[in-house]
């Protein structure tokens, strides 16, 4: 499988992975969802409450369990599309995932996913936001 371009969006020649884990990155919590491109469905899995190496240890366990073909991260932007401090943090997290787990990492604009998850009454807000991020990936790459 070819590596995704730097934009995190697959090119026309890139094969879309079928099994994915998605992440709603936060400095204190990271929501995780799993999905299948054939079904174009995503489901919340968990929220990781650890930071630093402990966060990556938890992610390694999830990758071992779910065996994804690729990873998807939500990248936040201001409503006008401008980057902010968390944009850089999320992109760094994506680079760390790629470096540690050697899987393709795709970026998705995650504006409003947490608000959407909250308005839907999600019990695990971060994991639900990760599922919305993955559903957005499927819409963009179907």
pLDDT tens, 46-61? 999 999 999 999 999 9
- pLDDT computed for residue 6 by the predictor: 40
Categorize the per-residue pLDDT at 141 as very low, low, confident or very high, splitting at 50, 70 and 90. Answer: confident
**pLDDT at position 1 over 60:** no
- How distant, in Å, are the alpha carbons of 23, 41, 45, 61, 91 from that of 7? 17, 23, 26, 27, 10
**pLDDT at position 69 over 50:** yes
Q: Are 107 and 75 within 8 A, CB to CB?
A: yes
- pLDDT computed for residue 112 by the predictor: 85
- pLDDT computed for residue 118 by the predictor: 87
DSSP β-ladder status, 41-48 and 30-36: antiparallel
The per-residue pLDDT of the chain, averaged, comes to 89
**pLDDT at position 7 over 60:** no
Categorize the per-residue pLDDT at 2 as very low, low, confident or very high, splitting at 50, 70 and 90. Answer: very low
- pLDDT computed for residue 9 by the predictor: 52
pTM of the model: 0.87
* Measured distance CA(23)–CA(80) in Å, rounded: 23
- Rounded to the nearest 10°, the torsion over CA 4, 18, 86, 32 is -150
pLDDT tens for 106-138 read: 999 998 888 889 889 899 999 999 999 999 999
- pLDDT computed for residue 55 by the predictor: 98
């Amino acid at each position: 499988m070819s590596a995704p371009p730097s934009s995190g969006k697959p090119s026309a020649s890139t094969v879309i992975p079928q099994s994915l884990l998605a992440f709603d990155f936060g400095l204190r919590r990271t929501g995780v969802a799993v999905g299948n491109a054939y079904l174009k469905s995503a489901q919340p899995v968990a929220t990781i409450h650890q930071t630093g190496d402990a966060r990556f240890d938890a992610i390694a366990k999830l990758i071992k369990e779910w065996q994804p073909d690729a990873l998807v991260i939500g990248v936040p932007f201001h409503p006008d599309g401008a980057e902010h401090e968390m944009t850089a943090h999320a992109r760094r997290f994506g680079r760390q995932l790629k470096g540690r787990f050697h899987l393709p990492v795709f970026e998705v604009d995650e504006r409003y996913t947490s608000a959407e998850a909250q308005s839907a009454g999600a019990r695990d807000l971060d994991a639900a936001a990760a599922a919305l991020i993955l559903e957005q990936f499927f819409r963009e790459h179907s």
